[in-house]
Chains A and B, each alone.
Chain A
Amino acid sequence: MIYWKIFLAFFIPGIVGYGGGPASIPLVENEVVDRYHWMSVSDFSEMLAMANALPGPIATKMAGYIGYQQGGILGSVIGVFATVAPSLLLMIVLLSILNKFKDSPRVKKMTALIRPTIAVLLGIMAFSFFHTSYQDTGIWQTIFLIAASFLLLEKWKVHPAFVIMGALAYGAVFLG
């Protein structure tokens, strides 16, 4: 039963993959390449390269594409559903409970206490993006892009979408 297999192949990475979509890449590979043999390692890495070059969340792109390859449109829908639904449901239930008690001092303390940790998590992500950029394009391009985008975003308040489009155009012309 291919649809059941597709469901399982993406349900497991969806509930075990902590740390957002990119964290689930090795888990998806484990299911798709090692367990079900739907793809070879090189097929998988080619797909990953493509998925990384396109915008949007990575986990659902993989699920959508692999599901489509194995089971057509319905397979694609099942793969994406298995990736998204379990953790989303948990999130809605937990946050709805939390929202009911949002004026209680304990819940206020909860949000206050985790804020520095979230800041650190975001800071680590920012650092890893800078580091990747330094490795891909070198120090000068990185500094230039950081300075230009910081001024555009924070000083001149340009909408992020336009800044990203600008960066895409710049990259296609000068970094290709």
Chain B
Amino acid sequence: MAIFARPRQALAIAGAIGLALSATACGTGSSSNGGTSDADSAECAPYETYQGHDGKTVTIYSSIRDIEADRLAQSWKQFEDCTGITVNHEGSGEFEAQLPVRVDGGNAPDLAFIPQPGLLQRFAERDQVKAASAETKAMAEANYPADWLKYSTVNGTFYGAPLGSNVKSFVWYSPKMFQEKGWTVPTTWDDMIKLSDTIADSGVKPWCAGIESGEATGWPATDWIEDVMLRTQTPEVYDQWTTHEIPFNDPRVAEALNRAGTILKNDKYVNGGFGGVRSIATTSFQEAGVPITAGNCALHRQASFYANQWPEGTRVAEDGDVFAFYFPAIDPAKGKPVLGGGEFVAAFNDRPEVQAVQTYLASGEHANSRAKIGDWVSANNKVDLANVANPIDKLSVEILQDDSSVFRFDGSDLMPAAVGAGTFWKGMVEWINGGDTASVLQGIESSWK
């Protein structure tokens, strides 16, 4: 069938489209960078070591999106202006699944912010990620606690510095409600259980919890277990657990699960406004804490980043609508265990400009530049507390910089993805849904090869 009755007419149409095309190409092709700072000016002095890559582009891939991504881009604006390096950041909600696809497919980004040391390890073992340069290593060693550097070191090779961090050992509560009812912030586990009983007796479900998170459903429960594990066992046992030196169904892990279960699987304690224990499985972690603002529950264990989840107009402050206290230790004499997470800047290319960006991201300049923009925490010890406005972020930075706190990285992120992002998550969902501790742990253990 002839689509165009007259071929010549068709030719004319195609020609016109082609012309229009090339015209628009000229129109948009020249993007100008108007606000370039003078590379020799005083404000560019800190960036002198990174100069000499004018006109180069570095691509970054991460799971950071929307407003946080904009803030991130803002944090390296000055760096871009002073060095002439263009940093292209792309955030994706499917980061964890897409990064391996891109790397295997030969389309790796220059840099990636990887929140799972387990994933980083997988790239390292397949020689897909580049070792960090000597400058990056020196910068990271000067700015980050040795604990943190361990997570991005595989078989003695250092692959990149941490960037943002979060502290997970927090319990959110309403200072207003606590004051009205005369409750006090607990400082030990036993106090916390006593407080929960008091609240339950007053007719309010003390705890709110939710572990639904789309494809990642189950992770908030793994955080619970890890936090309890750090409190019932020594950090050494925790390390053995995350590296599979002890089996996943070790009695000590079962003990942690059962202890967490005294809260999570206790119908008297959960789940404020959402229903029974099993409603935890279908409540999204974002919504889970919100009933605190309505007085339907009093406590919600969730990380520092939960500060962004409160409904608009909620004041986060020590005397405000909501605030968080440190998830108490069982025996405070044994120190202050802290569970946390964060992302690591790994490089898939070793071009000099990529290394320059990688080094800069480990520096105190960048950490402070990002901290000033707000809602951000880092373990970088160059972060000036004066630059951290949000009270929870301030508390987090204090905890991270506190020498007495024993920091441990999120265990599920350290484990191989098949366990840490697979059977552990699924196992927790099953456990909340009524599965018994022993068979759930056995199932996870059998998947770890």
Partners in one complex: no
Q: Chain A interface (Cβ within 8 Å of chain B)?
A: none
Q: Chain B interface (Cβ within 8 Å of chain A)?
A: none
